[in-house]
Homo-oligomer: A and B are copies of this chain.
Amino acid sequence: MKAIPYKIYLSENEMPRYWYNMKAVMKELPDPILNPATMKPCTQEELNQLFCTELVKQEFNTTDEYIEIPKGILDFYKMYRPSPLVRAYCLEKELDTPAEIYYKFEGSNTSGSHKLNSAAAQVYYAKEQGITSLTTETGAGQWGTALSMACAYYNIDLTVYMVKISAEQKPYRKAVMETYGAKVIPSPSNTTEAGRKILAENPNTSGSLGCAISEAIEVAMKTKNCRYVLGSVLDHVLLHQSIIGQETKIACEKYDIRPDIIIGCVGGGSNFGGLIAPFIGEKIQGKSNVRIIGVEPASCPSLTRGKYAYDFGDTGRTTPLLKMYTLGSGFIPSPNHAGGLRYHGMSPIISKLYHDGYIEACAVEQTKVFEAATLFARREGILPAPESAHAIKVAIDEALKCKETGEKKTIIFGLTGTGYFDLAAYISYNEGTMTDYIPTDEDLEKGFATIPKV
């Protein structure tokens, strides 16, 4: 066996040329997307009004296990990929564990996270289709930043509706997007009917992701050659994110690394779905026994405490209905610093895999997450995003179990991004003022009451 370096970088000619489509091997498919007006499955034609045609085609593709990545996207990927698969030698030593720990690090690009993998693809297909402008929403700002970078590269106009409170609290996130040429509008705004309506009802609102989605969709529907793009949850987003898993798998095969456990954080599910994609393929096909664990915040526990039901994707109840684990679109997550994991629902593919027993889930509290994040930063030198640190926490727990049992397991986790824009959270942890929030059963019932009857 070759000696394993600290950081495994694939060379350009080792880079994957295909995304991995989990649906092609799933024994049962996720339930179809429904049109809430008719309660019938959405057709591709219906979705083409809102999304780029090729992305809708990918959303409906249940047959091709491997989907070729166009050269125009591979060229973009070359700018910031491959991402390294890192052997956490220093963390292992600190934990004094027989386990071998690896992490796939997606934070080495200016957007600071994995989001760029799908942004690149979505903007490329828009350009190919002759689309001249795109709209989206952003909360914490990682998706908006990634999309701004991709739109600058492919020369497409972008309007980002940014939740007003985020735009005010994170002026630097806004500044990055503007440096990349995006138009950033705090939401609600008076640029849309949806925004004006909300402002008339509540002039002092600090905005919400639901409202920002409604505004972005409205503009996309009303503007010529314009489409709306989404950064997580949907099948085609997971498809693009499978570049993470594809690279990881090639690196594992090159160095004969055989993972026993794969761990990722889950919010909408896109990084997790991307990391596990080719591994779940092998598991479904009976070729591997790998344990796969999704980690969510205890404050927003859609997999571990949610219901598997049809629900809206947004709090504004304007999107098609998705069958997924959900806390209800009206669920209000208590404050948690991992903004990217504060989502009431979950990718339909991840939901189905979880429902069918292929993956496990667990929920962790944020003070424990920051404890793990700080240890990781000091040992491995990377300041992790709070979202990513959920996976770190569980990887450490599993490694410590190995220490007790003496088992030499191989653990891989996804390190989705960096925490440069999350330092207010670190300050709160360092000062000892961070607290944990776990919704009561009553809190959950209020959310469940907003799930539509189908």
A153–B181 alpha-carbon span in the complex (Å): 39
User: Could you say which of A241-249, A253-261, A372-380, A439-447 contacts chain B?
Assistant: A372-380
User: From residue 1 to 16 of chain A, which have CB atoms closer than 8 A to chain B?
Assistant: 5-7, 9, 11-12
Known: A153-B379, A379-B153. A172 touches B6 (CB 8 A): no
Contact of A153 among B78, B90, B109 (CB under 8 A): B90
User: From residue 392 to 441 of chain A, which have CB atoms closer than 8 A to chain B?
Assistant: 418, 420-421, 423-424, 426-427, 430
Closest to A429 in B: B179
A176–B12 alpha-carbon span in the complex (Å): 34
Chain B residues lying within 8 Å of A377, measured Cβ to Cβ, are 110, 152, 179-180
Query: Are B176 and A426 neighbours in the complex by a CB distance under 8 Å?
Result: yes
**A171 adjacent to chain B (CB < 8 Å):** yes
Query: Are A430 and B78 neighbours in the complex by a CB distance under 8 Å?
Result: no
A430–B178 alpha-carbon span in the complex (Å): 7
A180–B110 alpha-carbon span in the complex (Å): 22
Chain B residues lying within 8 Å of A179, measured Cβ to Cβ, are 374, 377, 383, 426, 430
Query: Are B171 and A427 neighbours in the complex by a CB distance under 8 Å?
Result: yes
Query: Closest Cβ of chain B: how far from A242's Cβ, in Å?
Result: 21
Query: Are A79 and B427 neighbours in the complex by a CB distance under 8 Å?
Result: no
Query: Are B7 and A78 neighbours in the complex by a CB distance under 8 Å?
Result: yes
Known: A176-B426, A377-B179. A110 touches B383 (CB 8 A): yes
How many monomers of this protein are in the complex? 2
Query: Closest Cβ of chain B: how far from A319's Cβ, in Å?
Result: 30
Query: Closest Cβ of chain B: how far from A81's Cβ, in Å?
Result: 9
A378–B80 alpha-carbon span in the complex (Å): 13
A 1-34 to B, binary, CB cutoff 8 A, 1 in contact else 0: 0000111010110000000000000000000000
A 318-335 to B, binary, CB cutoff 8 A, 1 in contact else 0: 000000000000000000
Pick the most buried of A152, A378, A382: most chain B CB atoms within 10 A of its CB. A378
**A203 adjacent to chain B (CB < 8 Å):** no
Chain B residues lying within 8 Å of A12, measured Cβ to Cβ, are 5-6
Query: Are B78 and A5 neighbours in the complex by a CB distance under 8 Å?
Result: yes
**A265 adjacent to chain B (CB < 8 Å):** no
Chain B residues lying within 8 Å of A180, measured Cβ to Cβ, are 377-378
Known: A374-B179, A423-B172. A80 touches B381 (CB 8 A): yes
**A149 adjacent to chain B (CB < 8 Å):** yes
**A61 adjacent to chain B (CB < 8 Å):** no
Interface of A is mostly: helix
**A175 adjacent to chain B (CB < 8 Å):** yes
A342–B379 alpha-carbon span in the complex (Å): 32
Contact of A90 among B5, B79, B379 (CB under 8 A): B79
Chain B residues lying within 8 Å of A383, measured Cβ to Cβ, are 110, 176, 179
**A367 adjacent to chain B (CB < 8 Å):** no
Query: Closest Cβ of chain B: how far from A86's Cβ, in Å?
Result: 8
Chain B residues lying within 8 Å of A304, measured Cβ to Cβ, are none
A 149-186 to B, binary, CB cutoff 8 A, 1 in contact else 0: 10011000000000000000001100110111100000
Query: Are B153 and A79 neighbours in the complex by a CB distance under 8 Å?
Result: no
**A35 adjacent to chain B (CB < 8 Å):** no
A 86-114 to B, binary, CB cutoff 8 A, 1 in contact else 0: 00001000000000000000001110100
Contact of A175 among B152, B380, B430 (CB under 8 A): B430
Closest to A422 in B: B172
Query: Are A381 and B176 neighbours in the complex by a CB distance under 8 Å?
Result: no
Contact of A381 among B7, B110, B178 (CB under 8 A): B110
Closest to A10 in B: B9
A176–B377 alpha-carbon span in the complex (Å): 10
Contact of A181 among B79, B378, B427 (CB under 8 A): B378
A423–B423 alpha-carbon span in the complex (Å): 15
A84–B421 alpha-carbon span in the complex (Å): 24
Closest 10 CB pairs of A and B: A172-B423, A152-B378, A6-B78, A5-B12, A175-B423, A110-B383, A420-B420, A9-B9, A175-B427, A79-B381
Can you list 13 A-B contacts (CB < 8 A)?
Answer: A6-B78, A9-B9, A109-B382, A110-B382, A110-B383, A149-B378, A152-B378, A153-B379, A153-B381, A171-B427, A175-B426, A176-B423, A179-B377
Q: A178-B430, A179-B374 are in contact. List 8 more A-B contacts (CB 8 A).
A: A79-B90, A80-B381, A109-B382, A110-B383, A176-B423, A178-B427, A180-B377, A180-B378
